[in-house]
A = this chain, B = another copy of it.
Amino acid sequence: MIQSPNDPRTRDSRTDVYAVILAGGSGTRFWPLSRETHPKQMLQIVGEDSLLRETIKRIHGFVPGKNIWIVTTEEKAQDIRFHIDSLGSLAKEIQFINEPLGRNTAPAVGLAALYLNQISPASIMVVLPSDHAIPDPEKFLRDLKLAVQGAEKDSLVTFGIKPIRPETGYGYIKVRPTSKMKSRGLLKVERFFEKPDLKTAKRYLSHGGYFWNSGIFVFKASKILSELQKFIPSLHKKLLSIPPSAIPARPAGRGHAPWSEQYATLEPISIDYAIMERSRDLLMVPAKFRWSDLGSWAALDEVIEKDKTGNILRGNTINIGSQNSTVFAGDRLVATIGLKDMVVVDTPDATLVTPKERVQEVRKIVETLKQGDREEHLIHKTVERPWGSYTVLEKGDRYKIKRVVLKPKAKLSLQLHRKRSEHWVVVSGVAKVTREEETYLAYTNESTYIPVNTKHRLENPEEVPLQIIEVQNGEYLEEDDIVRFADDYGRQ
């Protein structure tokens, strides 16, 4: 999906507009499908690709690849790099800004603004959450162009979504009644209200003239910095102590930024609370595109088409007489009978069952798992890697079984393990194995053995995928027992 320069969507590509994609979210709301190492933005819940890759492709219809920046945390950066790798040459153009740790959106936006301000103060930033669904990219780009016009006149521009229910999870934007449909769709914002209580939300809904805040913002780098200075000067001052040239992540994507300590002292605050509720220079584009922030499993109802009885059924399911229920299954069978307004989500190692009206409490489940030092909130059984993927099939006492899939021509790092040996059985394709000084091929239905403390490398020399079953033996079988000597992906 890389756009060529002649693609109609990139013809009017704006080189003075920068997309800042916020991708630091930790993915508790879509558990068990989302995990800390595979947060919501990496899920393909709606549309044809993951939410993050869809976000990138959508904005790439308007800005060149090198103007796309991803702000995430150092912890998540490597997984996200691997995740966007499938975008090919576009992925290589994208720049990362890695926060040493998550500090909510105001510091993240400030960081990007600080860097952009040094490059070109008049440049315009489009701040985009990485985990929203926008099924109409063309309409989105048309509205975005309007917003950019507003930002050029030194306003902060947001997108308002027409509310359809008294949602308490969103911010609300009140536009000036007199300004309706002026300025070719750019409306003056009277006030911006962060998440209201239910009574207030109902009043907003019945009153009219209120819109949901989409969380997408457009402004000049210089403007957002001056607003930060005005409304939250302590944050602004601390930000200024960071040397702008040190802000972009180094290519290896490893190690702490030199400004880590300053950043850790920043107050965690959202851009909405910090600026949007206070600024007087707000404009709003009433969105013509469909939008969902996919705030919970129940939010799928807004963006996925339901069957006649209101169900959304994905994967291996058998359903008898359920209504208005969502069942997300994988390869394992999920059989449901007579459910009403329920959500069932099945993954290889965990299943969630909850009424839709209580989906928000999935956070509590994740919290319980964290407190219990469990893994079900952390990892998925299948882990994506730039060379392919691995799936943990079973963990036992002193052994672990993985299926490892290598893309054509891919290779793992040259590595060794201090505490485990590995048996590999090739079940499809051909493996090129390096074991200390020897290099040999292992064909389908052949096996090989990598003893403890033995330098080795697994490669796929062919044009078809290679699949091996790995049986690990040892007292300690965690991923961090790895010493890397050479790696195609810059890992240490």
A: residues with CB less than 8 A from B are 32, 318, 320-321, 332-339, 342, 344, 346, 348-355, 357-359, 361-362, 364-365, 368-369, 374, 376, 393-394, 396-399, 401, 403, 421, 423, 425, 427-428, 444-445, 447, 449, 467, 469, 471, 473
Point out the residue from B338, B342, B368, B427 that lies within 8 Å of A318, measured CB to CB. Answer: B368
A368: chain B residues at CB < 8 Å are 318
A32 and B335 in contact, given A320-B361, A365-B320 (Cβ under 8 angstroms): yes
Q: Are A318 and B365 in contact (CB under 8 A)?
A: yes
A396: chain B residues at CB < 8 Å are 403, 427, 467
A358: chain B residues at CB < 8 Å are 320-321, 337-338
Q: Are B473 and A471 in contact (CB under 8 A)?
A: no
Point out the residue from B349, B393, B425 that lies within 8 Å of A393, measured CB to CB. Answer: B393
Q: Are B351 and A351 in contact (CB under 8 A)?
A: yes
Point out the residue from B338, B359, B365 that lies within 8 Å of A361, measured CB to CB. Answer: B338
A344: chain B residues at CB < 8 Å are 351, 353
Q: Are A338 and B355 in contact (CB under 8 A)?
A: yes
Q: Are A403 and B398 in contact (CB under 8 A)?
A: no
A444: chain B residues at CB < 8 Å are 398, 473
A401: chain B residues at CB < 8 Å are 393, 401, 469
Question: In the bound complex, what is the Cα–Cα distance between A362 and B449 (angstroms)?
Answer: 47
Q: Are A336 and B361 in contact (CB under 8 A)?
A: no
Question: In the bound complex, what is the Cα–Cα distance between A425 and B398 (angstroms)?
Answer: 13
Question: In the bound complex, what is the Cα–Cα distance between A444 and B475 (angstroms)?
Answer: 12
- Pairs across A and B, CB under 8 Å, 5 listed: A32-B333, A335-B362, A337-B359, A338-B361, A351-B351
Q: Are A346 and B335 in contact (CB under 8 A)?
A: no
Q: Are B351 and A332 in contact (CB under 8 A)?
A: yes
Task: Output the least CB separation between A328 and chain B (Å).
Answer: 12
Q: Are B349 and A362 in contact (CB under 8 A)?
A: no
A354: chain B residues at CB < 8 Å are 336-339
A349: chain B residues at CB < 8 Å are 332-333
Task: Output the least CB separation between A39 and chain B (Å).
Answer: 18
Question: In the bound complex, what is the Cα–Cα distance between A118 and B199 (angstroms)?
Answer: 83
Question: In the bound complex, what is the Cα–Cα distance between A342 and B352 (angstroms)?
Answer: 13
Residue in A337, A359, A467 with the greatest tally of chain B CB atoms within 10 Å: A337
Task: Output the least CB separation between A153 and chain B (Å).
Answer: 48
Q: Are B346 and A351 in contact (CB under 8 A)?
A: yes
Besides A332-B351, A337-B354, A399-B428, 6 other A-B contacts (C-beta < 8 A): A32-B333, A337-B358, A396-B427, A396-B467, A401-B469, A427-B473
Q: Are B320 and A333 in contact (CB under 8 A)?
A: no
Q: Are A427 and B398 in contact (CB under 8 A)?
A: yes
Q: Are B350 and A332 in contact (CB under 8 A)?
A: yes
Task: Output the least CB separation between A474 and chain B (Å).
Answer: 8
| Shortest Cβ distance from A473 into B: residue | B445
Task: Output the least CB separation between A376 and chain B (Å).
Answer: 5
A374: chain B residues at CB < 8 Å are 333
Task: Output the least CB separation between A274 and chain B (Å).
Answer: 33
Q: Are A376 and B337 in contact (CB under 8 A)?
A: no
A321: chain B residues at CB < 8 Å are 358, 361
A353 and B335 in contact, given A428-B398, A469-B399 (Cβ under 8 angstroms): yes
Q: Are A350 and B335 in contact (CB under 8 A)?
A: yes
Q: Are A353 and B336 in contact (CB under 8 A)?
A: yes
A352: chain B residues at CB < 8 Å are 335-337
Q: Are B342 and A353 in contact (CB under 8 A)?
A: yes
Question: In the bound complex, what is the Cα–Cα distance between A385 and B350 (angstroms)?
Answer: 28
A365: chain B residues at CB < 8 Å are 318, 320, 335, 337
Residue in A359, A365, A421 with the greatest tally of chain B CB atoms within 10 Å: A365
A467: chain B residues at CB < 8 Å are 396
